[in-house]
Chain A
Amino acid sequence: MNGITIALSKGRIFEETLPLLAAAGIVPDENPDTSRKLIIQTSRPDVRVVVVRASDVPTYVQHGAADLGVAGRDVLIEHGGAGLYQPLDLNIARCRMMVAVPEGFDYAHAVRQGARLKVATKYLRIAREHFAAKGVHVDLIKLYGSMELAPLAGLADAIVDLVSTGSTLKANRLVAVEHVLDISSRLIVNQAALKLKRESLAPILDAFTAAVRP
């Protein structure tokens, strides 16, 4: 009942969370990239890690299946954040959410107020809010991957996607034309867990806070 469960996704977020966990005295017994286990014990008997898809982390924490989690700001906005505290920006897994179009596409002309644009994205809520703020109508096409293909194949005029180095865009002759959001990962906490397990969660939160690099 008083154990702590932390939800993490594998890959970059897991790797970059390890130093923060270590600061709280938590060392996972295994690495999910090499192990197929979904529940990983740690050096602390009262703490375990569950390995879930990045976009599922807020769901696990919201429903109390995990007490803590690390989730990108993109994932949190899409989830809506109900039932969650997000007290700390961990400054890890940083990238940018951008609008990209094919080379030669006149984006400035296409997004005049009252215009209509076809946009392919995995991030429906972020895209809808971004274009709504500009007063541009968008038809959103939900895709799960390879967004770069959509404008090339004639599925959409533009995409809204995460960009870290820009090399995928370049390889497919797309250009990033507009910055939407800066993304980094947040520590998220189940609201009831922070009330019920404050005594054991607070030291972990404090250790993370002290270990975050600016």
Chain B
Amino acid sequence: MNWLLPDYLADALPLEAAQIERLRRLTLDLYARHGFELVMPPLVEYLDSLLTGSGQDLMLSTCKLVDQLSGRTLGVRADMTPQVARIDAHLLNREGVVRLCYCDSILHALPADQAASREPIQLGAEIYGHRGVEADIEVIRLMAATLSTVGAPADRIDLSHVGVFRALTQAAGLTPESEARLFKLLQQKDATNLAAACADIAEPWRSAFLRLPGLYGDATTLARARRELPALPALAAALESLQRLADAMPELPLSFDLADLRGYHYHTGVVFAAFRHGFAGAVARGGRYDGGGTAFGRDRPATGFSLDLRELARLAPQLAPRAAIAAPFAEQAGSPLAGTIAKLRAAGEIVVEHLPGAAEDSRCDRRLVRNAVAGASGETDAQWIIEVINRG
């Protein structure tokens, strides 16, 4: 037996674990200061409530087991967002705006790609109860602040709106099958096969679909879209929302891509993703998913973002591990040595007491030693002083 872990699962060893935990505290404190309340839904719950409103993608990535108490099928969550939506719609039952955040492990039945973990740590924040673009602005700003706070600010935040594609498919009267095919081709900007797939769609819808893959770039993309796409009320409203985001957040590195619609099946409005140089995917993603709570009893507008804290921890600058102070083992409670150690720890120092016979911890750059001069004047704290370890 060589104690290998299953594929795409890994231990977080001390350095990585310290980095993840530091980031977790920084970000959850940030969310608390913005009025977001932390919730901790369970690791497993009944499959039907876990998959509500999420579509086929989540079904495939959810590991299932049978509950011995009820005989029902349980799922290990592959995404916490539906759980948090359930908490808002069904348990809190508050009127008005609710801000929730969460941070915990999720399990993917299959890794997202060859470099991904099957156990991401999902960190996210959601605003429920506000239909206006203001809530989208707040979560996009919070996503940007999350990345800045950990020292890895977004180099680009890409915005889109599912209302553009949805308005066009409805106007063109597409069947669900051809909608799904067009959607897949648009995600790949596959202009060649898109032209073939659109061959029997009537104008002006055909040209509009063919233009979508090229409608990406800076804020001028929106003006281009207004010129080039048909004047449908729903489409104009979607572009108007994006324009408001662009106008409200000139401080962020925003870009636009009207064909990029990840999460189209459950998103209902603005969608966004943050990118950073040196990372081959989106660092954080989010969007609006109004009505996600309907199945749980209340139709609630919702918008939010989430990210994988493990990936963020790798991306964010690493702090050098803090040096510690070595101390002799303080056996006697209330002794001057025990008092000195307690004071140092209260001041935030790491003090490692050395068990008899153990080698000094390599993280220590100082040690507590008995002060020969003070020693003569009696039993006081001054008896112990800090000496720098010279490892030459």
Size of B's binding interface in residues, CB under 8 A? 25
Q: Which of B115, B158, B190, B217 contacts A87 (CB 8 A)?
A: B190
- Residues in A whose Cβ lies below 8 Å from that of B277: 1-2, 196
Contact with A along B171-191 (1 / 0, CB 8 A): 000000000000000001111
Cβ-based interface call for A84 (8 A)? yes
A65 to B257, CA, bound (A): 23
Query: Which of A15-23, A133-141, A187-195 is the interface stretch?
Result: A187-195
Determine whether the beta carbon of B217 is less than 8 Å from that of A198.
Answer: yes
Contact with B along A80-93 (1 / 0, CB 8 A): 01111111110000
- Residues in B whose Cβ lies below 8 Å from that of A196: 155-156, 275-277
Residue among A59, A64, A195 with max Cβ neighbours from chain B (10 Å): A195
A81 to B257, CA, bound (A): 19
- Residues in A whose Cβ lies below 8 Å from that of B217: 198, 202
A186 to B193, CA, bound (A): 11
Consensus secondary structure, chain A interface: mixed
Cβ-closest chain A residue relative to B213: A87
Determine whether the beta carbon of B190 is less than 8 Å from that of A192.
Answer: no
CB distance from A46 to the nearest CB of B (A): 14
Size of A's binding interface in residues, CB under 8 A? 27
- Residues in B whose Cβ lies below 8 Å from that of A2: 277
Residue among A83, A87, A189 with max Cβ neighbours from chain B (10 Å): A87
Q: Of residues 271 to 307 in B, which have CB atoms within 8 Å of A's CB atoms?
A: 273, 275-282
Cβ-based interface call for B192 (8 A)? yes
CB distance from A78 to the nearest CB of B (A): 14
Cβ-based interface call for B241 (8 A)? no
Determine whether the beta carbon of B115 is less than 8 Å from that of A86.
Answer: no
Determine whether the beta carbon of A1 is less than 8 Å from that of B281.
Answer: no
Cβ-based interface call for A63 (8 A)? yes
Determine whether the beta carbon of A85 is less than 8 Å from that of B158.
Answer: no
- Residues in A whose Cβ lies below 8 Å from that of B282: 192
CB distance from A70 to the nearest CB of B (A): 14
- Residues in A whose Cβ lies below 8 Å from that of B279: 64, 192
Residue among A81, A193, A196 with max Cβ neighbours from chain B (10 Å): A196
Determine whether the beta carbon of A86 is less than 8 Å from that of B280.
Answer: no
- Residues in B whose Cβ lies below 8 Å from that of A189: 189
Determine whether the beta carbon of A82 is less than 8 Å from that of B275.
Answer: no
Residue among A1, A65, A84, A198 with max Cβ neighbours from chain B (10 Å): A198
Determine whether the beta carbon of B192 is less than 8 Å from that of A89.
Answer: yes
Determine whether the beta carbon of B281 is less than 8 Å from that of A83.
Answer: yes
Cβ-based interface call for A62 (8 A)? yes
Residue among B190, B216, B255 with max Cβ neighbours from chain A (10 Å): B190
Q: Which of B114, B189, B281 contacts A85 (CB 8 A)?
A: B189
Known A-B contacts A83-B113, A195-B158, A195-B275; A64 and B280 likewise in contact (beta carbons under 8 Å): yes
A90 to B237, CA, bound (A): 37
Determine whether the beta carbon of A87 is less than 8 Å from that of B189.
Answer: yes
Q: Of residues 246 to 287 in B, which have CB atoms within 8 Å of A's CB atoms?
A: 255, 257, 273, 275-282
Determine whether the beta carbon of B190 is less than 8 Å from that of A62.
Answer: no
Cβ-closest chain A residue relative to B214: A87
A193 to B280, CA, bound (A): 7
Determine whether the beta carbon of B255 is less than 8 Å from that of A190.
Answer: no
Cβ-closest chain B residue relative to A89: B192
- Residues in A whose Cβ lies below 8 Å from that of B191: 87-89
Given A63-B113, A190-B280, A192-B282, 14 more A-B residue pairs with CB atoms under 8 Å apart are A1-B277, A63-B115, A64-B278, A83-B113, A83-B281, A85-B189, A86-B188, A86-B189, A89-B191, A186-B192, A192-B280, A196-B155, A196-B156, A202-B217
A–B pairs, 12, beta carbons within 8 Å: A63-B114, A64-B280, A83-B113, A85-B189, A85-B190, A87-B189, A88-B191, A192-B279, A195-B273, A196-B156, A198-B217, A202-B217
Interface residues of B (CB under 8 A from A): 113-115, 155-156, 158, 188-192, 213, 216-217, 255, 257, 273, 275-282
